[in-house]
Structure 1
């Protein structure tokens, strides 16, 4: 089980997010806790007004709503009674056992999950502290509930993937705003709070795996000038299709300021995971001396790392991004070090040498009148002109490909610096007199 806790400044927004799901037929309100009447007899207005009544007791608390999602492994089939019991136990363990709350069962994702809406203000007007609630209370509660109900542990499920999140079904969503918004929201809910990205291209490297992109527009567009952000659906070739949805239209407000706050936080928390990506690249290169770019990408995918290449309109590569699905960290190549940038990686894979061989063979064909093109073997030794940027592995994303051409200067690779023995002199201990 995975628990995600969000606080906000609008109880109505959290409430109607779930009620709209009920109206669309993809969710159901299955229970209500600590309401003064039976759940079956409560109207929609009564369910909301109970929460608003408590929120009005302390107007100094601006972020007064609590929106929690409890996510279960796809293999688990839980009844409404079981889900309601899990929700009740969870709320008690995180300090909300006496608060009114609503439980909604959603069917709009590949994994079973419920949403819980509550309020942070107690009946006496005091506020329930939620800072660090995930680390201090939620994690302990999650583990105890997993043990008590025999649920799949979150640690085991995360080793596979975030509950088998699937790419957006393009054919279903590209013609309708409602379907598009719902599909994008499912992806954003799974990606934004869990992955560690520090720039918009890095975020898009992850979103692209699920046919979604965050788009600021061109620099002269009104959206860009106003620091706006929209989300788009991508087709198999990475082209933007369908209706763009403004970030402010989503219930959790994944706007540009919110994303930028995540950049700052993620920059620090992802640092300990750099070594894993760099070591995976170095060992893949050391394992085979004849490795090329395509084989390197395939080797990294086996280790749970997706390599995404960026190119301009002319087809020239200007960036490389590594998405580590195991640690949920995203790194631009240059952030790992110069030797992991797009240019350096093409050099280390010997791409320029292959380019030179093709050029020499072409020159021989031009200068020799007896050259038989049918016997040309440059195709065998020619450069890699097509690299799959999107994984064919169903656990990593959708199948997309782009044509790329590397043109750096080749230099023979040496032993990676991480594997070299340090020659630093041992520091002599200095004695200090008292």
Structure 2
């Protein structure tokens, strides 16, 4: 199991990312923690209000959203809903978020099974949960314990696997799918499943999904701010349509941000 934790400053954006996946038929909200009713009875407004109300207890916390994805090996695609909920609940307890309000979404838009957990880092007493080194200090020990307890494929084994391009359903098909969502889905899959040490290496893989990342002209605003433009490609590898700025995507995959993922 691979756990990824991201923080942000917009509860609405975090929630909309997952709720829009539901509208597209690519996800479902399968569970919740510390909400007044079960997940299937929660409306969008109930979800939003619960999270926003608690965050208002400490408005000094600017990066108050915590968006977690738990990613499983492709061989674990048949994990039942009940087990996914157990895993999510156990993980949240172990990283110190067991008493926080959180929502669990099962996504079906990638080549590997995964769930997203949306929560906040402001507690009921108004204190902030410290996020510094949470990945190393809490998430890593938690995922190792969970791998053992639930007999999951270990993250180390997943990282060593050679991922192959996903079927056409994850690739951009210009004119047949909504371009922004298609690029975002393909980009998320590549960034989370491949290793790359430079933008050209990343593009070598992205092009398998009919996507290309572009720094823009040397003197452009995009280049000066280490941003990126993402182009959709047709079947011949030619750019089509209008490029989309990295800032328009949920994870804001700018060059500056991706460089942190470059590995030696």
Question: TM above 0.5, one fold?
Answer: yes
Partner of 1:132: 133
Contact 1:5–1:66 under 8 Å retained in 2? yes
**Equivalent position SS for 2:149:** helix
Partner of 2:247: 248
Partner of 1:173: 173
**Deviations 1:326-351 (CA, angstroms, capped at 9, x unpaired):** xxxxxxxxxxxxxxxxxxxxxxxxxx
Alpha-carbon distance, 1:37 to partner: 2.7
Gaps in structure 2 of 5+ consecutive residues: none
**Deviations 1:11-39 (CA, angstroms, capped at 9, x unpaired):** 11110000000011111001110112333
CA–CA separation in structure 2 for the residues paired with 1:207 and 1:172: 10
Alpha-carbon distance, 1:54 to partner: 1.2
Contact 1:51–1:119 under 8 Å retained in 2? yes
Question: Any runs of at least 4 consecutive aligned residues in structure 1 with deviations exceeding 6 A, and if so which?
Answer: none
Partner of 2:92: 91
**Deviations 1:200-248 (CA, angstroms, capped at 9, x unpaired):** 3343244334432112333476755776532112345432234422212
Tell me the C-alpha RMSD between the 2 structures: 2.6
Report the CA distance shift for 1:243/1:173 in structure 2 as closer, same or farther (over 3 A). farther
**Equivalent position SS for 1:5:** strand
Contact 1:101–1:116 under 8 Å retained in 2? yes
Gaps in structure 1 of 5+ consecutive residues: 271-434
CA–CA separation in structure 2 for the residues paired with 1:110 and 1:225: 35
Partner of 2:109: 108
Report the CA distance shift for 1:266/1:247 in structure 2 as closer, same or farther (over 3 A). closer
CA–CA separation in structure 1 for the residues paired with 2:205 and 2:103: 32
Contact 1:168–1:184 under 8 Å retained in 2? no
**Equivalent position SS for 1:57:** helix
Instruction: Using structure 1 for the length normalisation, give the TM-score.
Output: 0.55
Contact 2:109–2:170 under 8 Å retained in 1? no
Alpha-carbon distance, 1:196 to partner: 4.9
Partner of 1:81: 82
CA–CA separation in structure 2 for the residues paired with 1:190 and 1:236: 19
Partner of 1:428: none
Please tell me whether residue 33 in structure 1 is matched to residue 33 in structure 2: yes
Bigger RCO of structures 1 and 2 (CA < 8 A, at least 6 apart)? 2
**Equivalent position SS for 1:253:** coil
CA–CA separation in structure 2 for the residues paired with 1:165 and 1:121: 39
Superposed, 1:309-348 pairs within 5 Å as none
Report the CA distance shift for 1:34/1:169 in structure 2 as closer, same or farther (over 3 A). closer
CA–CA separation in structure 2 for the residues paired with 1:230 and 1:197: 19
Partner of 1:383: none
Partner of 1:288: none
Matched residues, number: 262
**Deviations 1:360-410 (CA, angstroms, capped at 9, x unpaired):** xxxxxxxxxxxxxxxxxxxxxxxxxxxxxxxxxxxxxxxxxxxxxxxxxxx
**Deviations 1:247-269 (CA, angstroms, capped at 9, x unpaired):** 122111113xxx22543x467x6
Contact 1:71–1:113 under 8 Å retained in 2? yes
Partner of 1:147: 148
